[in-house]
Amino acid sequence: MRLAPGEDPVRAQDALAEHLRTHVPWGAHVTVTQGTAAAPYELRAVGQVYDLARRTFAQAYGNAAVETGIGGSIPFIAEFARTFPGAAVLVTGVGDPASRWHGIDESLHLEMFGRGVLAEALLLAELAVAR
């Protein structure tokens, strides 16, 4: 399940399990087996690395980067940021309106993929010079 920054993953998991157990349709049986829980993370995209990323992605795509607040429940992000507090965490996604992310017919246009590869290469080149 997706969590918002600040939510307690164990409490959220318990609440979902309780909701499922108390709203079982007549004749159905529900068994909830809870797994591991991971904390959500809110990325603060401020600083030199993020400025370089915006510039190189704009160069690769031909227009300004669009920042959206999604993906905060990717389990390893919060743990990575906690383990390496000085690291800049940059989570990028490459897609177009027809990508249908996480759908059974998910796809990625090859030109869009190429621009993503170019953007990452430009960013790595800029980071090599900036260090």
Question: Would you state the structure tokens that stand for residue 120, as one six-digit string?
Answer: 């990452």
Does one domain contain both 66 and 91?
A: yes
Q: Which range marks the domain in which residue 70 is found? A: 40-130
Query: What pLDDT sits at residue 104?
Result: 92
Structure tokens at 115: 């621009």
pLDDT over 70 at 72, yes or no: no
Report yes or no: 90 and 53 within 8 Å, Cβ to Cβ: yes
Residue 73 has pLDDT above 80, yes or no: no
Both 28 and 61 in one domain: the answer is no
Q: Within this chain, do residues 61 and 123 fall inside the same structural domain, yes or no?
A: yes
Mean pLDDT of the chain: 89
* CA-closest candidate to residue 126, choices 51, 46, 43, 64: 51
Give one DSSP letter per residue of the chain, joined into a string. Answer: ----TT--HHHHHHHHHHHHHHTPPTT-------------------SHHHHHHHHHHHHHHSS--------TT-HHHHHHHHHSTTSPP-------TT--TTSTT----HHHHHHHHHHHHHHHHHHHHH-
How many structural domains compose the chain?
2
Is residue 114 domain-shared with residue 75, that is, in the same domain? yes
Cα–Cα dist 17/34, whole Å? 8
Asked if residue 20 and residue 46 are part of one domain, the reply reads: no
69, pLDDT greater than 90: no
Residues 49 and 6 reside in one and the same domain: no
Q: Are 49 and 33 contained in the same domain?
A: no
Instruction: Read off the pTM.
Output: 0.75
